[in-house]
Structure 1
Amino acid sequence: MKKKAVVLTLLLTLSVFANFFNTFAEYNPPFEISAKAALLVNLDTNEVLYSKNPDEKLYPASLTKIMTAILLMENVKDLDAETATAKDYIYEEFVGLDISTADIRHGETLTMNQLLHCMLIQSANEAASIVADKLGNGSIPKFVEMMNAKAQEIGAVNTHFTNPHGLFDPEQYTTAEDLRKITQYALNIPGFSDVVKQTRYGIAETNKHEARTLVTTNLMMDEVNGGMYYDSRVEGVKTGSLPESGKNLITTATSGDYRYLLIILGEPIDDMLHFTDTSKLYDWAFESFEDKELLSTEKSVAQVKLELSWEKDQLLLYPERGFEALVPNEIDASSVQPVPVIPESVKAPIKKGERIGYINLMLSGEQIGQVPLVSQEDIGRNFLLSAMDAATDIVRSFWFKFIVIFLVVLLIEYIAVTIWKNQSRKQRYHKMTKR
């Protein structure tokens, strides 16, 4: 549980940090892809470089097994020590279906680690149900409840599961954006990346089966069977395919200093465009973009009127930190327009490092980042100017105005009463004189 809490806290912290400081631009490649939805994310900066219908609800197919794997890895302390046995009822829903399988036999006992590899490498549906039965204490529906609770915890609020393997159900859906959150969460679990990077995995002889070797369903990773689809940059993560969903694919790829995550959903079922579109998007990302410093802390980018200081009447403001972003190769710092958002004036004293407004970084009319602005020096307050300012504040304050008005009203009343009394005396005097 502690490991789970730490991973979630880390993800949420990184997400909040990125959202506070940066609002990254998205770009369109010079080609179309056939997928219904797609999302390309730089894993080093969390920048979304490209998206297509990221919030459209679609069917996940076997991408569902990523969530099943998350729960398995978080709820089993020793994957090699704990085992599960395939119960007969598990196979009932698969009768007559052409599904991916690891040929796990009725009554066969495997370690949880072997079942994890069966799910993620060979996309074995029966393995996912065996795991669900084990972790659900004999109830797959109970495990599905755990899946949906975990999705909500991760922030995948537009996702709903009805089974642990991904076979079609109209009530089982997700989005590219939710799968991004689920996959990034999984990639932060120790050991998950090591599993999905494998193209082969050997299982020794069991109580029901001779030794066998699992083979990846992702041809982009398979140098032996991948043929024209093999891409040495690709390092997982999961395939998924159903007539109702089309072909889905989640991959990561590394080249040079850059690492990306790509979610592809809803490619045509009768071809291999999920592989070719993935390669095209990676080619575009790796060849067309680089990480560049667009803002330096060494140069002032704005100034603000300074009050209550004899030393100066303008305060220079500097970026709190440098700003780097993935941008097209031809873009440099001069292409970025800084737009300061600062108050009309500030009052001394000012501390070095004190935040005073922020700067929006604009590229071709689109905001690509936001950085706080700070003072790079301490500015003291002048006593005389401070006293005068305090007096001005007092004069402008509500209570001062109230007291002045109150005193004026009293004075007017006093004058009115005095005049009335004087007139009364005169009238009494005239009456007495006439007598």
Structure 2
Amino acid sequence: MSKKIISVIVALIFILNSIPVFAWTPAESLTSSSVVLMDTVRGQVLFEKNAYKHLSPSVMCKLMTALVTIEKTDLNAKVTISKNAASFNGLNLVVGNQYTVEDLLYAVMLSQGNDAAVALAEYVGDGDIKKFVRYMNTEAKELSLKDTYFVNPTGLYEKAQYTSANDIALLIKAAISNNTFNVIFGARGFGWLNGNNSSILTNQNTLFWSYKGVDGGKLGTNTNPQSFSAVTTASQNDKRLIAVVFNTSKESAFSETAKLFDYGFSKFYTGVLVPKNISQRSIEVDNVKLDLSSKIDVYYTYPVGDSFIKNISFIPNEKLKLPVNTETIAGVLKYTLNDNTVIEVNLYSDKTVSAPEDYRTKIKEIVTENRDLVTIVGILGIIEIILIIKNLIKFMLRAKKTRTQQ
């Protein structure tokens, strides 16, 4: 190869390497009206667009209906379909037929299943759907879902009910810690028996079959205005993310969910913020030095190449006095991240330290440690005192007798 050709190749390599590479970021091309990408470790928001905007809660109602039902009843319980439940669209449930709670949960999660949602609400609410909706709102309050309010379990349009993409993600983060919910949320299909007819319910979230690592999902359909809400979780390299996307196009909802996952998995790491059993701070308690450490590895999610830590502060336990053991919280390490996420890490002493001993404490310890010996010595002491008293009485009687004889 001639020197001229080699020079040209080298020049091309230099030019190509000098051209800056611009990584795709979600803000550049998302058409969805509202989205959020959240990690499942701490609920850190990795990207959001109008995530707190109030939207139709179709998918949220079904998710909350499933969670409340799982928490309040037995999966094997039989539910008899009422005329009211059968009047809703969904899986054409038959009045008077019985289905297990588990079957109806799969119907709610894998399909639109409005009739199944109403049947579950009636069963759990003892025939009172309003009572069940109160359960839903109570659960939302307990999970600090500040942009959510329920009016019905189906998600059918009601002016007074609403949710947000961020609240949906927060609900999923909490709900997947429930193993039953997580299994049903992660189901791709389910064998359905409706009377004498059998079929396969297939999850309407098609990302299960088009994106690597998808392990949970549901699709919601909103009517006012017409839109689709895709709720999906995916895991790669021991990291699980949640994406919630509202879009007027079903295909765009799925494709933009995939873009969000690509962004989250390639641009963020989940790593150890505070390792366990490694000294983080030292304090003095009654002139005794204590090294403090965490009992567990504490994780967080951060952008590649950035610690993402805005501030670190330490709050000692001002009430701490000797004695100190390894189970007492000696202080709290407080991390504030760049996205204002606050992570508080409890720190503990690496050793047990007893309180200084005074003479009373020392005597008490001796007595406790030598209880049997002290008992024997005490009995001998009592016998000795009795003998002394006895001899003293004899002496006094003899002395009295002597005086009388004189």
Q: The TM-score by the shorter chain falls in which range?
A: 0.5 to 0.7
1:196/1:359 CA distance change after superposition, 3 Å: closer
Correspondence for 2:228:
247
3-state SS of the aligned residue for 1:44? coil
**Partner residue of 1:238 out of 208, 218, 223:** 218
Identify unmatched segments of 5+ residues in structure 2: 1-24, 357-406
Matched residues in 1 for 2:175 and 2:192: separation? 23
1:317/1:346 CA distance change after superposition, 3 Å: farther
3-state SS of the aligned residue for 2:229? strand
Correspondence for 1:214:
201
**Partner residue of 1:330 out of 281, 301, 305:** 305
1:64/1:319 CA distance change after superposition, 3 Å: same
Correspondence for 2:53:
56
Residue identity matched to 2:233: T
3-state SS of the aligned residue for 1:64? helix
3-state SS of the aligned residue for 1:272? helix
The question of whether the paired residues in 2 share the 8 Å contact of 1:63 and 1:238 is answered with: no
Matched residues in 2 for 1:147 and 1:42: separation? 24
1:123/1:259 CA distance change after superposition, 3 Å: same
1:381/1:365 CA distance change after superposition, 3 Å: farther
Correspondence for 2:262:
283
1:205/1:286 CA distance change after superposition, 3 Å: same
Matched positions, count: 329
How far off its partner does 1:199 sit?
Answer: 2.2
How far off its partner does 1:212 sit?
Answer: 2.1
Matched residues in 1 for 2:310 and 2:39: separation? 23
How far off its partner does 1:355 sit?
Answer: 6.9
Q: How does 1:33-48 map to 2 (within 5 A)?
A: 33-48=30-45
The question of whether the paired residues in 2 share the 8 Å contact of 1:319 and 1:371 is answered with: no
Residue identity matched to 2:239: Y
3-state SS of the aligned residue for 2:233? strand
The question of whether the paired residues in 2 share the 8 Å contact of 1:72 and 1:135 is answered with: yes
Correspondence for 1:83:
79
1:292-341: CA deviations, max 9, x gaps?
A: 3455678877788x7986x9xxx797654665422222236xx8576555
The question of whether the paired residues in 1 share the 8 Å contact of 2:285 and 2:322 is answered with: no
**Partner residue of 1:292 out of 257, 262, 271:** 271
1:386-414: CA deviations, max 9, x gaps?
A: xxxxxxxxxxxxxxxxxxxxxxxxxxxxx
3-state SS of the aligned residue for 1:211? strand
**Partner residue of 2:253 out of 271, 274, 278:** 274
Matched residues in 2 for 1:348 and 1:157: separation? 40
How far off its partner does 1:75 sit?
Answer: 3.3
The question of whether the paired residues in 2 share the 8 Å contact of 1:133 and 1:139 is answered with: yes
How far off its partner does 1:373 sit?
Answer: 6.8
Correspondence for 1:204:
193
The question of whether the paired residues in 1 share the 8 Å contact of 2:79 and 2:120 is answered with: no
3-state SS of the aligned residue for 2:69? helix
Matched residues in 2 for 1:213 and 1:201: separation? 6
The question of whether the paired residues in 1 share the 8 Å contact of 2:37 and 2:48 is answered with: yes
The question of whether the paired residues in 2 share the 8 Å contact of 1:302 and 1:340 is answered with: no
Q: How does 1:90-101 map to 2 (within 5 A)?
A: 90=85, 92=87, 94=88, 101=90
3-state SS of the aligned residue for 1:325? strand
Q: Does 1:156 align with 2:145?
A: yes
Normalising by structure 1, we get a TM-score of: 0.62
Correspondence for 1:180:
169
Matched residues in 2 for 1:364 and 1:169: separation? 38
3-state SS of the aligned residue for 1:39? strand
Residue identity matched to 2:191: G
Q: Does 1:73 align with 2:44?
A: no
Matched residues in 2 for 1:255 and 1:217: separation? 22
Q: How does 1:337-356 map to 2 (within 5 A)?
A: 339-340=312-313
Greater relative contact order (CA < 8 Å, ≥ 6 in sequence): 1
Matched residues in 1 for 2:320 and 2:94: separation? 77
Q: How does 1:86-125 map to 2 (within 5 A)?
A: 86-87=82-83, 89-90=84-85, 92=87, 94=88, 101-125=90-114
1:189/1:84 CA distance change after superposition, 3 Å: farther
Matched residues in 2 for 1:346 and 1:70: separation? 41
**Partner residue of 1:194 out of 146, 168, 183:** 183
Residue identity matched to 2:255: T
3-state SS of the aligned residue for 2:106? helix
Q: Does 1:258 align with 2:239?
A: yes
| RMSD between aligned residues | 4.0
Q: How does 1:159-170 map to 2 (within 5 A)?
A: 159-170=148-159
Residue identity matched to 1:77: D
- Which stretch shows the higher mean deviation, 38-47 or 169-178? 38-47
1:25-68: CA deviations, max 9, x gaps?
A: xxx75645333333333223443333334433221113311222
1:108/1:35 CA distance change after superposition, 3 Å: same
> Identity rate of aligned residues, in percent?
23
Residue identity matched to 1:217: Q
Residue identity matched to 1:60: P
Correspondence for 2:128:
139
The question of whether the paired residues in 2 share the 8 Å contact of 1:317 and 1:376 is answered with: yes
